[in-house]
Structure 1
Amino acid sequence: MKVSSDGTSDCIDAELFMRYTGDLSSRPDVVVISYIIYAILFLLGLLCNGLLIGSMVIRKRKSVANIFLINLAIADILLCFTTLAITPLVSHKKVWLLGAFICKIISPCQSICVLVTSYSLCFIALDRYRSIVTPMKEPYSIFQAQIFMIFMWFGSIIISIPSFVTSGLKVISSDAATLCGEFCGELYWPSPQIQTGYGVFLVFIQFIIPSAVMGFCYWHILQKVREDWIVNKGSMLTQAQQAQTAIRKKRVMYVLIMMVFVFLGSWAPLTLCNMARDFGVQMAERYFITLCANIIAMTSIITNPMLYFWLSKRHRRALKDDMFWLTNVRRNQQNIGILDQFEPSSLLYKKSCDPLTLSSYNHNNRRGTLADPTCSAREDQLEDVKAACFLLVPIMPFCKEKRLSNAGMRRGSNNSNNHAPTTRNMYGNNLNVKNGRAGWK
């Protein structure tokens, strides 16, 4: 086959030609099934990653791991638009229908998103390795995580420049006939050797290095979990507690193994297809095999948020709390005129009246978790906290945004002569200790 820069008047429709040659990707049933699969992946990818980002943003959980998770979710959403929305059309029609500009940017955009996804997973693994295997080392700071994220995007853009330069449209013809339409791809390489070298470089950068880093980190984390499990067998825990601990640690080990194998299983088929293309290997069903490999790779858009975020009971419970709050906000907006003065307890973070207690608590607890001290109205303390919280709907406390003064939080202020010993609870409020019982002061 030869590539010409100008087309001829007589041409053959590429789709009909491929169907005539028996190409599986042109069969009507394969086309319909592929469109359905891509549509499901597109919707689920947007839903899973969108909810992940929304949960992080609403709860303002600013941590190193969450920065990498948001980065991963953004890259996955971009993959939804740059790959899932275009690949089935190209696989079906064969020719390019979206114009020269989209053809020029689509391949480098896909490469950038894949690189960012791979190295976000790498930094998540490194962060976990540093926290679990080497806890004595200073953890990554939020500033360092942001710097890593910036370098990740800029490095991916620089690596993808050759793909941008060589991408374009061409008319493809053979000795017998010319195929109608233009084909998009990296068709303007100076030489086949340069194309092959760049392909090998991308395989090394996109697949081999991330696989090695993730395998190293999760293997050592797995060994650490197993060592702790062996030590705990001689502990003073009851038999039921030991069984429950063993179940939890087995679950952790399974998840760690899944993280590595899901990454390898998702991207290995497409990596092999790209290598075959770069080395000029002829395949009988190139379009169909590449289509299947691309579908397998794009399942990572769903498995990434599921493995790294939604498997956590805490995150699922937090999402349920947020959705319940939003539902009741819409339900009560017309009846409650002062709703704007309040927000859900899940959105209030450490609004203690005592800044000293607040700073000491913040030092030992991560911001944005379900254990954060908020204006939660417990049943046994409802009368004591009603000055700060009230219930708009059952079991859903809404708390005032403005801080109450220490004087306003005190009860029994007229009993100034009572010098009973006091202590502070986790919310920073003074407790009056009488006869071995702590009450609100």
Structure 2
Amino acid sequence: MIPKGTEPAETSVPAMDVLEKDDFFKERPSIEQLETYQPPFTAQEQKNILRKVDWRLVPLLSFLYLVSFIDRGNLGNAKVAGLGKDLHLSGTQYNIAVTLFFIPYSLLEVPSNIILKLTRPSIWISLMMFSWGLVITLTGIVQNFSGLLAIRIFLGVAEAGFFPAATYLLTVWYTRYEVQSRMVFFYAAVSLAGAFSGLLAYAIQKMDGVAGLEGWRWIFILEGIFTVFLSFFIWSLLPDSPSTAPFLTTEEREFIVLRLEQDTGSGRGKVTNNDKVNKRQVIAGLTDWKVWAAVFMYWATSISSYGFTYTVPTVILELGYTAANAQLLTVPIYVVAMIFTVANAMASDYYRQRTPFILLGVSVGIAGFTALLAIPHPQLPGLTYGMLFFATSGIYMSLVPTLCFVGKIIL
């Protein structure tokens, strides 16, 4: 708090120590207040506050992203379980179905986050979860290629806003050199999604014939129903922003908000969810060259990530393994990738460097993919399988530092 006797300028916001409790959050502090603000907590108490935020926010967002990635990526598992054969899909048709998801998904991410700013994140994320869970459930009754294309478009629309909404929520709670060590656990869910997706598909496809439905249909139906069920609880569990968090005291909320304001350096960057978005801000974001440079950086890593996710079960299947074993053999690949992803991100935050750790992941990924191209298939199944570990680990190691690097250069 500002020491008593410190008087703000006439045109500034009233001094924080004369604001009545939650009135602090109704007005933005001036730069002078930010510079003189002293948290009323010891260093250990500050750590305890952050741990309280960690336990409330990070596991929940990580779990939701795990569910999201399983739902969008289970098409690859369903293909191995018989979807391609039953719908008479050629390799090209399957690739079209995979690709079509990303058209509305990419086009609607920005509009979705604008809506996020106009509403409450908890409500908007709950609505998105209900929508994509319903679409996933309906995928289980698709009868032909045309129906699959239509359902993939709807899935892209429904899921478009979740990833940007979730990463945005992380950035409104943590400073720039804290966010990666939290985001890595959120993003490790991508690796775990591959592992869980394989395990779930292995178990669920054994329901083949139940109620007259093929096993691959039950993969979509059960996973979709679970997401719909989960959506009814998220709106009450997910905190919208530090300034409205019910699990923090007024002083703790004030501490979180002001440390984020101070972290912008100039006081100009706004990282809370209090401001409503306006036309000028949207135009500024779309015309900033750094934003477009960031787009290409993220494309380079995410294209490899999604391409791998949708094809790795088929790659393993073509090495001579059974469909059930192909599902199971994806599990250790993603577990190893998660370990290296977490270690790389933690080291990046420790050394406060992004570029070397991005390049490390990219190098490992390039080595893995190059080896996969050079190895004769399927003559050396063991070596091919081993190179999948390098390709996956490299992809995911570079993703998190790239996202955090983007946040730093744009701020």
The structure that has the greater radius of gyration is 1
TM-score normalised over the length of structure 2: 0.26
Higher relative contact order (CA 8 A, sep 6+): 2
The structure carrying a bigger helix percent of its residues is 2
